[in-house]
Structure 1
Amino acid sequence: MSPHNTRRRHAGWISALAAAALVVPVLGSPAQAAPGDPATASSFDLTSGPDLSAQVADLKAALPTQGVQDLLDQGNRVAKTGASCTTDPFGTGDDGKVLAPARKLCWDTGDSVTEEWIPQGITGVSDAQADELWGSRKPLVTAWYDKAGSALCSSDPGTCYDKGVRLSFLDPETAVPGNPEGRRYRHVLLVEPYYNSYGNASYKAVDIHAGGIAWYKYYLYVADTMNGLRVFDMRSILDLNHDQDASVDDTTLDGLKSNVRDETKIGRQSGVYYSHTYRYVMPQVASYKFVSAQGNSPSEATCVATGAPKASYISIDRSNTAAPSLIMGEYCNSDATHVEKGRVGALPVDDATGLLKAAGGVVAATEAYHLPRDLTQGAARYDGMYYFNRSYLANSGSLRRATVSGGRLVDYGANITNAVGPEDLSFEHGQGVPGGGTQYLWSLTEHRMDTADPACTDTGSPCGRVIYAHRVADVVARP
C-alpha cells in the first residue's frame, strides 16, 4: 500500500517529517521498540461496524446479481501472458540478484498506462477455498484505487469523478478461444450502500486506498487504512446492464432503470441507477473498526508505535486449516526522527462462516510484532514463514523473509531483489492438488510507464504494471 501520489509527495514527506519532530504524538511518546520485538496484539483488535444487511437486501431486490464465474465468462478485457507479455519491471531477469517471476500477466493497453487507476491489492481463490477452485475456475482478484480525485484533477476538477475502488476478476488459467496467450478479465466497482433522503436504497463510491485485499469463503476483505476493514460478498455483485446492450437503459427488478453510459453519476438518482459506466457494482455488506484509538496521521507515511495500526495490506494464512488467520500490516517510512518501521498482526478467521472470529463482540488479535524493516508494501505468512514486499519510489523492490525466533520476528536469509513497485501479496498454497501442487507467491506492480518521469520511461528503468508469481520453492532456495 504505497501512499497516494508517492513520487510527487516525496519532497513533501521530508518537510513534514521535520515539522513532525516538533509535535508530540496524540498517543504520547512510548519507549522505542526494536525491530522484530513483540507488539501489543490488542492494538489490532476489531469490532463490527454498522449493519448494512437491510440496504444490501433492498439493492438486491432492485438489481439482478451475477456470480464470479459469470464475470469471468463475460470478461471484456484481455490480459497477456507468455511471450505476449513483454512488460518487465524486473529488468535483468534472474541474474543472480533479481528473482525473475515464474508466472507473469500483463494488463491490456488501457490499464497498463492509465493515470486514473493505481493497482494495489491482490488475492485469489487459493485464499478463499481449500480446494483452490471457484466452481471450475481459479480466479485472481486485484484492487485499484482512483487517483482522479487528487493530483490528476487539480487542473480541471470539473472533468474528474472520484470513483473510489474497483476490482479486476481474472482467470490466469483459461485461454481466450483462438488466443492461447490471452486471459479475459472484468472490472467491478466497489460501492457503499445507504438510504437516501427519500428512504430509498442507494450507494456511493468507496473512497479508500485499498492497499490490500483478502478473499475467504464468500467474503472479500478490503483494507481501510485508518479504520480497519471493509467487507464485501461475492454473492452480492449487482448487474446494471443485464441485457448487455449499453446503448439503452435496462429495466430493473423494481421497475426503474439502470444506466451505464453516464460517467458523472453513481447510485440511485431520479429513478435511475448509475455506476460511473461500470456494468457491475459490489456493495459493502459489513465492516470492522479498530477498537484502539488511531494515533497515525492519514497524510503522513510515518507511523507511531502504539494504538491502532494502519491497515495498509492484508492476506490469508491457510497453513493451519483449523485456525486460519488474516494477516494485517503497516506501510511506514522511517528516518532518524521517525524510527517506527510498522507492525504486523494476525486476526482469527471463523472457517465455518468466513467472517472474522469474535468473542464478546471483539475480534481479538492472536499475535503482533514490530516489523524488521520499513517500507513494507505487502505481507503473507505460511507455515510460520513471513514474506514481505518492500519498495521505494521507482527503485527495484525487495522480497524479504522472516520467522519468529526467541519470541521475536527476525530476518531469514538475505534480501531478494524484486520488481519495481511491488505491492500486496497472496499465497497460493497448492493444497487443492492431490499429493500437493506448486506453491506460488502472487503479487502485482503499481507503476505505469511514464515518459514524463525520467525514473520510469519506456527506455529507462524497468517500470511497468504486471501481475506475477514466484514459485515459493525458488524463494526458499535463496540464501
Structure 2
Amino acid sequence: MFGRDPAAWSLFIAACLGGCGPGPALEPGSEVETQTQALTEGAPLTTHDASCLRLVDQNTWSSAVSNMTAVGPALGLPAILGDLNRAGPVLTASTRPPATGYKGGFRWNDGDMATTDWIPQALTAGVSGSTNVAIVSWHYAPSGTDKGVRLSVADISDMSGSAINYRHVLLVRPTGAGQFTTVNEHGGGLAWFGNYLYMADTSDGLRVFDLTQMRQVDTSTACETQVGKVGSVWCAYGYKYVLPQVSAYTMPSTLTSPCRPKFSFLGKDTRGGTSAVLSGEYCNSGDAQCPYDGTTPGLGGRLYRWPLDASTNRLKVVSGAVVPERAWVMNEPNVQGVAPVMTSTATTSYWLSSTRYNGALFKVSTSASRKAFLSGSSQWAKMPEGMHATGSGTNLWTVTEGVSGVTNPATGGRVVFFVDQAAVD
C-alpha cells in the first residue's frame, strides 16, 4: 500500500472523505439514491467525480528484473519479431467481416481460429524499430490449471501480402530469484507506451510488463505441462518466450464500491499534450451490473484517464499515489474497448467497442449523443474487443473474440482488422 509515507496516507484519507460518485460526497445511507439516478443509453458521456480513487505503485521495477536474471539474457521485441512462427492469412473481399470504412486485416491460423482453450481479448499497437507491431492478449478459458494470459506479437508492417506472421508469448510474474508463475488474469485490456505494456487487472488496477525483458525458455515435451523452474530449465507450458511483469499499480484494499471500479479494458490516448492510459468498466444488465447503473442496469460503466509521465512512460505519482485526471460515466452497456478520436485534440471524445447488439462501435463525447455502427446492420464486426487508434488519425484497429463455434472470419470468426478513422468519425 502506501508503506510508511505519511503524506501519501494523508492524501488518500482526505480524498476518500471527499466521496466518489457522479455528484457531491455521499452522506451515510444515500448510496441507494445515487445508484438509482436515471441513465439513458446513448446519452453523452457524463462527468464523474473520481476524487476518491487512487492507485499505488507496487515499485517492484528493479527486483522483478533482478529475479529474472538467472532465466537467461534479456531479449527485446526485435528478437521476437525475428522469430515469428505462425502465419495468419490476410483477409480478402470474401473472407472479411462487414465494417464501415474497412481497409484491411487478417485472421489467425486454423488452430488459433478453432481453439476453445484461448480467447482473444485486447489489442494495442506500436512501432519497434521500423516494424509496425500489433499485440493481442488471449485469456485461458478451461477450468482447472490456469495458464494465465498469452500475447500474440504480430508484424503488421505489410498488409498487402498473403499472410501476417506472429508468435505467442506467455506472460509471467516473477516470484523470487529465478522463479516465476503465470499471470492469472482475464487480459481484457492492453496499452503500449515506450518499453512498457500495461494490462488491465480486473479487480485491482494495472499490471506493467517490460518489453525489453523477455526471456527464452525450454520447449521440450516435459515443459508443455509446467511453468517456472523445473530441474535445471525454465518452462512456460511449451511457449518459447516469456514476458515478465515488472510492477503494478493497485487500489488500496480500503477502497470499496462504489469508489472501487473494475479495470475491464484499456486504451492509449496521446491527445491534449498529456499521454494517458485509459481504463473502463464492462457492465451489462445481468451478471455484471455496476454501481451507477441507475434505472437501466448495464449503463453505469465508468471511463478513467490516467496521466503518464512522458519521461519515464510510467504513471504520474503525486504524494505516493496516482489519481485519474478525468472520469466519465459512459452510458453504454457491454463495453469491451476504448480508443481516442484522434481527429480531435480535446480529450472528451472516444470510440467504444461493445458486444451490445452482438457487436457495435460507438462514437461518444461529452457534447453529443452517440453515433452507432452496428453488426446487425453490416456496419461492424461481431463480438469486438480491444481497439487502438493510430496517432496520425488514419487507422482504427480492433480485434474480435469470435462467435462461439464460428471459424469463418466473414461471419463471426476471430479477426484483427482496421478501418479509416474518418469513416467512423
TM interval, shorter chain, is 0.7 to 0.9
For residues 420 and 295 of structure 1, do their structure 2 counterparts lie closer, same or farther at Cα, with a shift above 3 Å needed? farther
Q: Does 1:162 align with 2:162?
A: no
1:58 is paired with a residue whose SS is: helix
Measure the CA separation in 1 of the matches of 2:210 and 2:226.
Answer: 23
**Residue type matched to 2:401 in 1?**
E
1:363 is paired with a residue whose SS is: coil
Q: Which residue of 1 aligns with 2:325?
A: 366
List aligned pairs for 1:387-406, cutoff 5 A. Answer: 387-392=351-356, 396-405=358-367
For residues 30 and 294 of structure 1, do their structure 2 counterparts lie closer, same or farther at Cα, with a shift above 3 Å needed? farther
Measure the CA separation in 1 of the matches of 2:221 and 2:135.
Answer: 22
- The offset of 1:458, in angstroms, is 5.5
- The offset of 1:366, in angstroms, is 0.6
**Residue type matched to 2:157 in 1?**
E
Q: Which residue of 2 aligns with 1:130?
A: none
- The offset of 1:41, in angstroms, is 2.0
Q: Which residue of 2 aligns with 1:114?
A: 115
Q: Does 1:277 align with 2:242?
A: no
Q: Which residue of 1 aligns with 2:182?
A: 205
Q: Which residue of 2 aligns with 1:467?
A: 416
Q: Is the 8 Å Cα contact of residues 56 and 250 (structure 2) preserved in structure 1?
A: yes
Q: Is the 8 Å Cα contact of residues 277 and 307 (structure 2) preserved in structure 1?
A: yes
- The offset of 1:443, in angstroms, is 0.7
Q: Does 1:411 align with 2:369?
A: yes
Q: Is the 8 Å Cα contact of residues 283 and 298 (structure 2) preserved in structure 1?
A: no
**Residue type matched to 1:190 in 2?**
L
For residues 50 and 356 of structure 1, do their structure 2 counterparts lie closer, same or farther at Cα, with a shift above 3 Å needed? closer
Q: Which residue of 2 aligns with 1:307?
A: 259
**Partner deviation per Cα, 1:198-234 (whole Å, 9 max, x = no partner):** xx43000100001010000110000001100000001
Q: Does 1:357 align with 2:309?
A: no
- The offset of 1:117, in angstroms, is 0.5
- The offset of 1:55, in angstroms, is 3.7
For residues 368 and 464 of structure 1, do their structure 2 counterparts lie closer, same or farther at Cα, with a shift above 3 Å needed? same
Measure the CA separation in 1 of the matches of 2:30 and 2:179.
Answer: 38
1:69 is paired with a residue whose SS is: helix
Identity %: 31
Q: Could you tell me which runs of 5 or more consecutive residues in structure 2 were left unpaired when the two chains were aligned.
A: 1-28, 40-44, 287-294
**Residue type matched to 2:184 in 1?**
D
Measure the CA separation in 1 of the matches of 2:51 and 2:365.
Answer: 21
Q: Does 1:378 align with 2:345?
A: no
Measure the CA separation in 2 of the matches of 1:346 and 1:78.
Answer: 35
Measure the CA separation in 2 of the matches of 1:28 and 1:223.
Answer: 27
- The offset of 1:295, in angstroms, is 4.6
2:119 is paired with a residue whose SS is: strand
**Partner deviation per Cα, 1:109-128 (whole Å, 9 max, x = no partner):** 11111100000010011xxx
**Residue type matched to 2:238 in 1?**
T
List aligned pairs for 1:62-461, cutoff 5 A. Answer: 62-83=71-92, 87-88=95-96, 90=97, 93=98, 99=100, 101-125=102-126, 133-148=127-142, 150=143, 161-174=145-158, 180-195=161-176, 200-240=177-217, 246=219, 259=220, 261-291=222-252, 293=254, 295=256, 306-320=258-272, 322-334=273-285, 338=297, 340-381=299-340, 382=342, 383=344, 384=346, 385-392=349-356, 396-405=358-367, 410-416=368-374, 417-430=379-392, 439-447=394-402, 450=405, 456=406
Q: Which residue of 2 aligns with 1:303?
A: none
**Residue type matched to 2:173 in 1?**
E
Measure the CA separation in 2 of the matches of 1:354 and 1:164.
Answer: 25
2:284 is paired with a residue whose SS is: coil
Measure the CA separation in 1 of the matches of 2:278 and 2:253.
Answer: 18
For residues 386 and 34 of structure 1, do their structure 2 counterparts lie closer, same or farther at Cα, with a shift above 3 Å needed? farther
Measure the CA separation in 2 of the matches of 1:27 and 1:61.
Answer: 54
RMSD: 2.6
2:384 is paired with a residue whose SS is: coil
Measure the CA separation in 2 of the matches of 1:205 and 1:86.
Answer: 39
**Partner deviation per Cα, 1:13-59 (whole Å, 9 max, x = no partner):** xxxxxxxxxxxxx9953513454332222354311125252242231
For residues 136 and 373 of structure 1, do their structure 2 counterparts lie closer, same or farther at Cα, with a shift above 3 Å needed? same
Q: Is the 8 Å Cα contact of residues 103 and 418 (structure 2) preserved in structure 1?
A: yes
Measure the CA separation in 2 of the matches of 1:294 and 1:418.
Answer: 38
- The offset of 1:261, in angstroms, is 4.6
Q: Is the 8 Å Cα contact of residues 192 and 205 (structure 1) preserved in structure 2?
A: yes
Measure the CA separation in 2 of the matches of 1:146 and 1:458.
Answer: 22
1:429 is paired with a residue whose SS is: coil
**Partner deviation per Cα, 1:83-136 (whole Å, 9 max, x = no partner):** 3x8544x3xx3xxxx5252111111111111100000010011xxxxxxx3211
Measure the CA separation in 2 of the matches of 1:137 and 1:339.
Answer: 40
Q: Is the 8 Å Cα contact of residues 27 and 307 (structure 1) preserved in structure 2?
A: no
Once the two structures are overlaid, the 10-residue window that deviates more, 379-388 or 282-291, is 379-388
- The offset of 1:77, in angstroms, is 0.2
**Partner deviation per Cα, 1:342-385 (whole Å, 9 max, x = no partner):** 11010100110000011011111111111121111111123332
Q: Which residue of 2 aligns with 1:56?
A: 65
1:168 is paired with a residue whose SS is: strand
